[in-house]
């Protein structure tokens, strides 16, 4: 240190400079090393988080999000509600009954028509077990006294309108529909579970899949809002499409099991064949049963033809002329497609299988777009319509893997199937693009985040994925033996993907033979064997042995079978009877309605289908839980039975029968020594047998006979 009055010599100045250099150089090196370490660590963190690069012009990086400061919980709730309603409005205002017609977007309330609804309820003291009872309105799912649980499963077959119903609920909530119970719900959360792959947190899912990209709300904000709002309802749509069903540690599975949000109302939608492995014992189950004639008529007038009664008659006439088409059109998705296609066509549409129906529908998708193509693009367009092996394989791999995959990143699928092909199938509406926000967090507080929008691609409906996957299955059946086919399809549940199998049988008779053999090896496979047999084209002789084997065992028709399955089973029985194939045993389980009393030629079912006289039937069982069958009804059943020439036994279970019968009603049965048994308590004692001489019931010497 130098005093102001002192002047350093030149030597001293050099010495000072040397010391400065000695100190500065190590300090500079230290700073450089620290800087390099920091950058390297940052790169490692960046690599670990794997922020994807921008795939195309539609995807962009969002700025860092910061928490809302100085806001009260009421302020953040208000922002949250506004953003929820904005998202739901985008969804319910973009309903496309025909996806290839982009200029026809409807508000869901404009096209929504109620299908049938039933609730599973416990039986009373007189009627054991559980039964399905009718609900009158879709509002009843939320308010009916029989549905008191905070957990509800809304189930239905593919295409039965589960997702459309959730959109209608979103519309009712956003618009405070006066007759809807949702008008009293403060917060409604609607999530599509197909997007949930790898997302464990429900709060992250809400932030990522519902809120806008520029939302300043964080997961912590969302958690605080929901925890402070008891009037909250959560709708989880599409459990059958949820990629992480087996992850019991996810919030979603905890919610279903009522281990989280115990006091909040939660509705889960899924296919009937794909119920959660674990769910709360108090869960109420509701199922959609499809469109009846009244619902179809209402949809045609509401969404297709308006006040044009002539056009409405033309559309509905086709259903009256084809019982198969009428059954197919019980499925709302298929009816909606049929109604719009029929309205645009000058010809009457007629189909003999679900495969022929779907083939025509796909052709309509392509032909509509073909009319808009430039002449020089037509040949390539037609080629892509017929040659779609890469898409077939993609769909097949997605459905047959250990975990189903029905959504793909845009970049991946474009590369896999080709850009031109991809663009064409997007234009037709067979493939759909969806923008999804992905979020990376840069602190444990989850308040500093970087988001980017990625584009995911899916089929318009999962049924379309099954259609294209079935082409690969049909092709592989040409060279694979049945045992290899069984190994290939080990992860495919026919209860979940019935159309996948049925389409393949309709596309290839050779595939049908092998698929039927494969299905018959599985538990419950006979049910789908029936459906596949009726999809098969060409000569039936090749599967006559299968029909004979099926009919050698008990054939059940249940109350909860779909109308399509009931009709398919009845058709199988008709084929067997018409070809003199013996039918061992038909069992009607709570589905019998009445007999055509104008001669006893048909047994009428509750589904309004009827079973004709079966000349080769050996045994008929009728179970009607707790029902009293009148004398007139009983006489009709006896008359029907007398016309089944090979019948040896007639049995009744769990019902009340008249104490006596008229002698003339049993004369034919008496001449053929047909035995009539009555099991009032099911398969337990006492068992009664009708004395065909005295026409009175007597305790049978047979103390016990099981159902089978």
Helix residue ranges, H only, 307-388: 309-321, 323-328, 332-344, 354-370, 378-386
Check residue 452 and give its pLDDT.
65
For residue 547, what pLDDT band results from cuts at 50, 70 and 90? confident
Check residue 504 and give its pLDDT.
95
Q: Is the pLDDT of residue 206 over 70?
A: yes
Rg (CA), the chain: 33
| Average pLDDT, integer, range 577-597 | 90
| Average pLDDT, integer, range 117-132 | 68
**Stronger pLDDT, 119 or 537, i.e. the higher one:** 119
For residue 11, what pLDDT band results from cuts at 50, 70 and 90? very low
Joined together, the tokens standing for residue 682 give: 């099911």
For residue 24, what pLDDT band results from cuts at 50, 70 and 90? low
Check residue 562 and give its pLDDT.
75
Query: What is the chain's mean pLDDT, rounded?
Result: 83
Question: SS3 for 49?
Answer: helix
Sheet bearing 407-409, strands edge to edge = 407-409, 449-459, 431-441
76-80, 102-106, 234-238, 438-442: lowest mean pLDDT where?
Answer: 438-442
Check residue 43 and give its pLDDT.
40
**Stronger pLDDT, 616 or 381, i.e. the higher one:** 616
54-58, 256-260, 436-440, 562-566: lowest mean pLDDT where?
Answer: 54-58
Please name the residues in contact with 28: beta carbons below 8 A apart, sequence gap of 6 or more.
none
What is the rounded distance in angstroms from the CA atom of residue 435 to the CA atom of residue 416?
A: 20
User: Which residue, 677, 597, 675, is CA-closest to 637?
Assistant: 597
What is the rounded distance in angstroms from the CA atom of residue 186 to the CA atom of residue 227?
A: 13
Check residue 708 and give its pLDDT.
41
For residue 525, what pLDDT band results from cuts at 50, 70 and 90? confident
Check residue 100 and give its pLDDT.
67
Check residue 329 and give its pLDDT.
86
Residues 311-346 have pLDDT tens digits of 899 888 888 777 777 778 888 998 998 998 888 877
Q: Which domains does the chain have, with CATH numbers?
A: 73-290 (3.40.50.300), 551-708 (no CATH)
Q: Is the pLDDT of residue 51 over 50?
A: no
b or e along 369-393 (b: 16 or more beta carbons within 10 Å of the residue's beta carbon)? beeeeeeeeeeebeebbeebeebbb
Q: Is the pLDDT of residue 443 over 60?
A: no
45-49, 519-523, 610-614: lowest mean pLDDT where?
Answer: 45-49
For residue 25, what pLDDT band results from cuts at 50, 70 and 90? low
| Average pLDDT, integer, range 136-149 | 93
For residue 246, what pLDDT band results from cuts at 50, 70 and 90? confident
Q: Is the pLDDT of residue 652 over 90?
A: yes
What is the rounded distance in angstroms from the CA atom of residue 113 to the CA atom of residue 138?
A: 10
The owner of tokens 């109350």 is 559
Joined together, the tokens standing for residue 693 give: 């001489």
**Stronger pLDDT, 655 or 566, i.e. the higher one:** 655
For residue 44, what pLDDT band results from cuts at 50, 70 and 90? very low
What is the rounded distance in angstroms from the CA atom of residue 189 to the CA atom of residue 199?
A: 16
Out of 27-41, 568-582, 595-609, the most confident range is: 568-582
Check residue 54 and give its pLDDT.
32
What is the rounded distance in angstroms from the CA atom of residue 169 to the CA atom of residue 171?
A: 5
High-pLDDT (> 70) share of the chain, %: 82
For residue 185, what pLDDT band results from cuts at 50, 70 and 90? very high
**Stronger pLDDT, 390 or 126, i.e. the higher one:** 390
Q: Is the pLDDT of residue 56 over 50?
A: no
Q: Is the pLDDT of residue 45 over 70?
A: no
Check residue 498 and give its pLDDT.
86
Q: Is the pLDDT of residue 541 over 50?
A: yes
| Average pLDDT, integer, range 135-154 | 93
235-249, 448-462, 661-675: lowest mean pLDDT where?
Answer: 448-462
Cα–Cα distances in angstroms (integers) from residue 253 to residues 162, 193, 405, 476, 485, in the given order: 20, 12, 19, 36, 33
pTM exceeding the 0.85 threshold for the entire prediction? no
Check residue 28 and give its pLDDT.
58
Check residue 374 and give its pLDDT.
56
Instruction: Assess whether the previous peptide bond of 686 is cis (omega < 30° from 0).
Output: yes
Check residue 377 and give its pLDDT.
63
| Average pLDDT, integer, range 388-400 | 96
What is the rounded distance in angstroms from the CA atom of residue 499 to the CA atom of residue 155?
A: 17
Check residue 175 and give its pLDDT.
97
| Average pLDDT, integer, range 291-313 | 91
Contact 150/262 with Cβ under 8 angstroms?
yes
């Amino acid at each position: 240190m130098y005093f102001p009055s002192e002047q350093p010599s030149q030597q001293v100045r050099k010495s000072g400079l040397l010391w400065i250099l000695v100190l500065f150089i190590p300090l500079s090196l230290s700073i450089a090393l620290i800087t390099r370490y920091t950058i390297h660590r940052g790169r490692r963190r960046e690599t670990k988080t794997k922020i994807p690069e921008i795939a195309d012009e539609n995807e962009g990086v969002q700025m860092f999000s910061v928490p809302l400061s100085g806001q009260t919980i009421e302020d953040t709730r208000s922002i949250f509600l506004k953003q929820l309603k904005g998202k739901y409005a985008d969804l319910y205002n973009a309903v496309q009954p025909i996806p290839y017609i982009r200029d026809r977007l409807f508000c869901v309330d404009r096209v929504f028509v109620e299908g049938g609804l039933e609730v599973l309820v416990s039986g009373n003291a007189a009627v054991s077990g559980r039964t399905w009872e009718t609900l009158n309105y879709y509002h009843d799912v939320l308010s009916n006294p029989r549905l008191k649980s905070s957990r509800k499963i809304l189930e239905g077959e593919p295409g039965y309108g589960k997702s459309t119903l959730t959109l209608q609920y979103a519309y009712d909530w956003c618009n405070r529909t006066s007759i809807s119970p949702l008008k009293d719900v403060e917060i409604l959360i609607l999530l599509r579970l197909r997007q949930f792959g790898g997302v464990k947190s429900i709060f992250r899912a809400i932030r990522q899949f519902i809120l806008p990209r520029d939302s300043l709300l964080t997961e912590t904000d969302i958690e605080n809002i929901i925890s402070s709002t008891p009037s909250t309802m959560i709708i989880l749509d599409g459990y059958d499409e949820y990629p992480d069903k087996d992850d019991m540690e996810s919030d979603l599975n905890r919610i279903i099991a009522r281990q989280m949000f115990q006091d909040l109302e939660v509705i889960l939608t899924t296919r009937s064949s794909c119920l959660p492995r674990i769910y709360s014992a108090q869960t109420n189950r509701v199922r959609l049963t499809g469109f009846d004639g009244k619902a179809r008529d209402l949809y045609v007038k509401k969404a297709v033809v308006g006040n044009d009664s002539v056009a409405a008659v033309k559309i509905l006439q086709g259903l009256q002329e084809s019982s198969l088409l009428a059954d197919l059109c019980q499925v709302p998705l298929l009816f909606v497609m049929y109604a719009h296609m029929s309205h645009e066509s000058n010809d009457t549409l007629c189909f003999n299988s679900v495969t022929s129906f779907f083939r025509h529908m796909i052709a309509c998708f392509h032909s509509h777009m073909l009319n808009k193509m430039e002449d020089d693009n037509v040949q390539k367009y037609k080629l892509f319509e017929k040659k779609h092996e890469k898409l077939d394989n993609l769909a097949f791999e997605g459905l047959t893997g250990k975990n189903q995959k029905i959504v793909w990143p845009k970049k991946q699928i474009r590369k896999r199937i080709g850009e031109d092909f991809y663009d064409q199938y997007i234009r037709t509406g067979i493939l759909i693009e969806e923008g999804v926000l992905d979020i990376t967090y840069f602190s444990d507080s989850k308040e500093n985040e970087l988001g980017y929008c990625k584009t995911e691609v899916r089929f318009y409906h999962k049924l379309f994925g099954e259609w294209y996957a079935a082409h690969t299955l049909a092709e592989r059946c040409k060279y694979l033996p049945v045992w290899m086919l069984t190994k290939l399809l080990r992860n495919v549940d026919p209860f979940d993907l019935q159309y996948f199998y049925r389409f393949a049988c309709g596309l290839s008779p050779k595939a049908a033979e092998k698929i039927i053999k494969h299905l018959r090896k599985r538990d419950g496979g006979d049910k789908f064997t029936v459906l596949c047999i009726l999809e098969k084209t060409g000569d039936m002789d090749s599967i006559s042995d299968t029909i004979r084997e099926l009919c050698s065992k008990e054939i059940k028709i249940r109350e909860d079978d779909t109308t399509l399955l009931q009709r398919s089973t009845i058709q199988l029985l008709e084929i067997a009877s018409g070809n003199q194939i013996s039918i061992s045993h038909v069992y009607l389980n709570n589905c019998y309605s009445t007999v055509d009393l104008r001669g006893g030629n048909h047994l009428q079912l509750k589904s309004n289908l009827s079973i004709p006289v079966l000349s080769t039937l050996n045994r008929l069982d009728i179970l009607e839980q707790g029902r009293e069958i009148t004398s007139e009804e009983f006489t009709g059943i006896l008359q029907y039975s007398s016309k089944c020439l090979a019948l040896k036994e007639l049995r009744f279970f769990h019902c009340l029968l008249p104490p006596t019968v008229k002698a003339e009603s049993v004369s034919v049965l008496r001449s053929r020594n047909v035995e009539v048994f009555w099991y009032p308590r099911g398969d337990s004692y006492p068992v009664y047998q009708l004395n065909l001489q005295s026409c009175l019931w007597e305790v049978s010497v047979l103390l016990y006979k099981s159902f089978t």
